[in-house]
Amino acid sequence: MLVEESREAVVVLDADDRVLLASRRARQSIDALREGAPLPPGLLSGEAGIVPLIVPIEVDGRQERLVYLSQAGDMTAYEELRTGFTASVSHELRTPLARLLALLETAALPGEDVHALTAQARAEVEQIRELIDEVMFLSELESGARVVSLGAVPVLPELEAVAAELVDRASRAGVAIAVRGDPTIELEIRPRLLRVIAQNLAENAIRYAGPGSSFTLSVERVPEGVALRGADDGVGVKETELLRVFERFYRSDRSRASRGTGLGLAIVKHIVTQAGGTVEAHGRPGGGLEIRCVFPAHGR
Q: What is the pLDDT of residue 80?
A: 46
Whole-number percent of the chain with pLDDT over 70: 70
69 in Cβ contact with 52 (< 8 Å): yes
Phi-psi region of 210 (alpha: psi -120 to 50; beta: other; left: phi over 0): left
100 CB contacts (<8 Å, ≥6 apart)?
121, 124, 125, 128
Q: What is the pLDDT of residue 284?
A: 59
Which among 20, 50, 73 is the end of a domain?
73
175 in Cβ contact with 183 (< 8 Å): no
Instruction: Judge if 57 and 92 occupy the same domain.
Output: no
Give 247-281 pLDDT, tens digit per residue: 765 555 444 445 555 677 887 887 888 778 898 98
Assess if residue 254 is contained within a domain.
Answer: yes
Domain CATH number, residue 228: 3.30.565.10
Closest residue by Cα to residue 64 from 6, 9, 8, 11: 11
Q: Which residues of 68-83 are buried (b: 16+ CB within 10 A; e: fewer)?
A: bbbeeebeeeeeeeee
Give 186-235 pLDDT, tens digit per residue: 988 878 788 889 988 999 899 888 899 999 999 999 998 999 999 999 88
Closest residue by Cα to residue 263 from 144, 169, 130: 130
Assess if residue 3 is contained within a domain.
Answer: no
Radius of gyration of the chain (CA): 22
Instruction: Judge if 261 and 130 occupy the same domain.
Output: no
Report the alpha-carbon distance of residue 15 to residue 22 in Å, rounded. Answer: 16
Please state the φ and ψ torsions of residue 50, each to the nearest 5 degrees. -120, 135
Please state the φ and ψ torsions of residue 257, each to the nearest 5 degrees. -80, -10
Closest residue by Cα to residue 187 from 212, 214, 220: 220
Residue 84's pLDDT band, with cuts at 50, 70 and 90, is very low
Which among 91, 124, 143 is the end of a domain?
143
Report the alpha-carbon distance of residue 258 to residue 37 in Å, rounded. Answer: 52
Report the alpha-carbon distance of residue 231 to residue 214 in Å, rounded. Answer: 8
Assess if residue 300 is contained within a domain.
Answer: no
The overall average pLDDT reported for the chain is 76
Mean pLDDT of 111-135: 79
Instruction: Judge if 57 and 158 occupy the same domain.
Output: no
Which among 55, 73, 91 is the end of a domain?
73
Domain, as residue range, for 110: 83-143
Assess if residue 213 is contained within a domain.
Answer: yes
Overall residue count recorded for the chain in this entry: 300
**Domain tally, the chain:** 3
Instruction: Judge if 191 and 126 occupy the same domain.
Output: no
Predicted TM-score (pTM) of the model is: 0.55
Distance of CA 259 to the CA centre of its chain: 18
